[in-house]
């Protein structure tokens, strides 16, 4: 064995072996495919060279690499012993081949990364963006908002009491009824059955006023979707009972059993409708109360918040079991600085209107801009027209400014074109 004063080969070989055997090598994030191919070639050359070493040489190199930073080991002969010179020389050739390949790959990669100095100019000429706006008028159903708020509050109260408040959504839909042949016969029979068993006066009156069209004339009925959903569920349960009964009985018995369920079906349908109507009436009453409350505001010119509070405090003894504490004078002095009716808040349409209109401006990228909420659709359209006029003018001003700026930049570049050409040429030569 030859001896060497500086023995870095074991550490280098151990690091290379660990690196190439790890997943990091196989999944290298390098973007250059040619570099990965070169590294794979080096891996093959390295393992081929490693196979030429004897077991003793491999064990020695591993021991030296593992104890590289062990002071006691560095003082022993094992650390200073090296493998034969021909093995070291052949390994140097493997490394040299790898570095030569990497050098060529680097040169090719640099050539591919040569920047396009005129990219921005060419890109700007290719695309002309549309910066125009479109208008969207969105109705805001304030009565619907109030009904929803009322139903939510009633449900919370019912849940706190361990009860359930029915869903009384007013969303309706049109439903097509087939009315030809057997369907017409069934429709007439169903209506007669409903009239015979109905007990609620309002429902009975509605049934008496309704007539089935002539045979062959399909008809549409507009019904609350929630009622249709509940009726469908109830009818499905009764139908399941009939089918279960059919399994052990004759057809005549099944018909008799189904007829016996008619009264139960009509009563169920009536209960569902009655519960829905009562809940809807209750919600409608609450909705009207809300509108009436906000519409009852009075214009108290010259009055302050302090005057309002004093009036409330004056009435409190009539509704209180005990004496009422006097108001804090410091608080009253602060409230005396605030008007009773703040400008812009008197009889605000958000609390009193049935329907409002939201005006939105939508750009070519899909972004929406709220322009305001108005009592009339015409006002919403006017708001967009005014806003769009300013937006269009601002866009024209920007275009003119950009044109002026571009002309100035082109003039400066024209004056310094020689310098620009020299810089480009120098950069291209530096990359070779």
pLDDT tens, 210-247? 888 999 988 888 888 888 888 888 888 888 888 898 88
Closest by CA to 150, choosing from 356, 352, 290, 353, is 290
User: Do the beta carbons of residue 360 and residue 135 sit within 8 Å?
Assistant: yes
Q: Please report, for residues 2, 67, 93, the alpha-carbon distance to residue 86 in angstroms, rounded to integers and kept in the order given.
A: 10, 24, 11
Q: Is pLDDT of 205 > 50?
A: yes
Q: Tell me how crowded residue 198 is: count the other CB atoms within 10 A of its CB.
A: 20
Closest by CA to 87, choosing from 52, 117, 122, 112, is 52
Handedness of CA 397, 398, 399, 404 (dihedral sign): positive
**Which burial class, exposed, middle or buried, applies to 292 when counting CB atoms under 10 A from its CB (0-12, 13-18, 19+)?**
exposed
Cα separation, 236 vs 41, in Å, equals 73
3-state secondary structure of 376: coil
Closest by CA to 164, choosing from 172, 173, 155, is 155
Handedness of CA 356, 362, 366, 369 (dihedral sign): negative
107 band by pLDDT with thresholds 50, 70 and 90: low
Tokens 């060497």 found at: 4
Beta bridge partners of 172: 224
pLDDT in tens, 117-151: 666 666 655 555 677 899 999 999 999 999 999 99
Lowest mean pLDDT among 35-39, 182-186, 211-215, 321-325: 35-39
- The answer to whether the predicted template modeling score (pTM) of the entire model surpasses 0.85 is no
Handedness of CA 54, 60, 63, 68 (dihedral sign): negative
Q: What pLDDT, on a 0 to 100 scale, did the predictor assign at position 31?
A: 43
For 7-44, give one letter per residue: b (16+ CB within 10 A) or e: bebbeebbebbeebeeeeeeeeeeebeebeebbeebbe
Q: Please report, for residues 266, 353, 355, 360, the alpha-carbon distance to residue 376 in angstroms, rounded to integers and kept in the order given.
A: 45, 10, 9, 14
Q: Tell me how crowded residue 401 is: count the other CB atoms within 10 A of its CB.
A: 10
User: Do the beta carbons of residue 78 and residue 120 sit within 8 Å?
Assistant: no
407 band by pLDDT with thresholds 50, 70 and 90: confident
Q: What pLDDT, on a 0 to 100 scale, did the predictor assign at position 405?
A: 81
Q: What pLDDT, on a 0 to 100 scale, did the predictor assign at position 381?
A: 95
């Amino acid at each position: 064995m030859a001896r060497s004063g500086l023995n870095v080969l074991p550490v280098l070989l151990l690091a290379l072996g660990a690196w190439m055997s790890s997943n990091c090598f196989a999944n290298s994030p390098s973007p250059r495919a040619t570099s990965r191919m070169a590294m794979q070639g080096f891996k093959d050359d390295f393992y081929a060279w490693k196979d030429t070493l004897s077991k003793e040489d491999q064990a020695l190199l591993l021991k030296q690499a593992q104890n590289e930073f062990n002071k006691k080991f560095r003082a022993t002969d094992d650390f200073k012993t090296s493998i034969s010179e021909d093995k070291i020389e052949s390994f140097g050739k493997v490394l040299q081949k790898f570095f030569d390949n990497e050098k060529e790959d680097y040169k090719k990669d640099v050539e591919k990364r040569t920047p396009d100095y005129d990219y921005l100019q060419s890109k700007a000429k290719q695309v002309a963006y549309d910066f125009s706006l479109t208008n969207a008028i969105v109705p805001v159903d304030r009565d619907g908002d109030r009904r929803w708020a009322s139903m939510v509050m009633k449900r919370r109260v019912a849940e706190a009491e361990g009860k359930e408040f029915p869903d009384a959504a007013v969303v309706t839909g049109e439903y097509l009824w087939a009315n030809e042949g057997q369907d017409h016969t069934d429709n007439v029979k169903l209506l007669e059955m409903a009239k015979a068993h109905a007990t609620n006066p309002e429902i009975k009156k509605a049934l008496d006023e309704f007539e089935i069209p002539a045979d062959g004339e399909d008809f549409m009925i507009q019904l609350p979707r929630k009622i249709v959903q509940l009726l469908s569920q109830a009818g499905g349960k009764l139908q399941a009972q009939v089918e279960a009964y059919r399994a052990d009985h004759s057809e005549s018995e099944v018909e008799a059993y189904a007829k016996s369920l008619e009264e139960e079906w009509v009563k169920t349908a009536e209960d569902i409708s009655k519960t829905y109507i009562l809940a809807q009436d209750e919600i409608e009453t609450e909705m009207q109360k809300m509108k009436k409350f906000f519409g009852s505001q009075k214009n108290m010119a010259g009055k302050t918040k302090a005057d309002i509070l004093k009036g409330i405090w004056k009435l409190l003894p009539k509704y209180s079991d005990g004496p009422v504490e006097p108001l804090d004078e410091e608080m009253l002095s602060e409230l005396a600085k605030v008007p009773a009716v703040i400008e812009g808040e008197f009889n605000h349409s958000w609390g009193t209107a049935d329907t409002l209109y939201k005006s939105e401006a939508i750009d070519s990228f899909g972004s929406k801009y709220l322009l305001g909420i108005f009592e009339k659709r015409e006002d919403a359209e006017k708001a967009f027209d005014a806003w769009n006029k300013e937006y269009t003018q601002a866009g024209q001003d920007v275009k003119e400014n950009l044109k002026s700026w571009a002309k100035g930049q082109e003039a400066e570049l024209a004056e310094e074109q020689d310098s620009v050409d020299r810089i480009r040429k120098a950069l291209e030569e530096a990359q070779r």
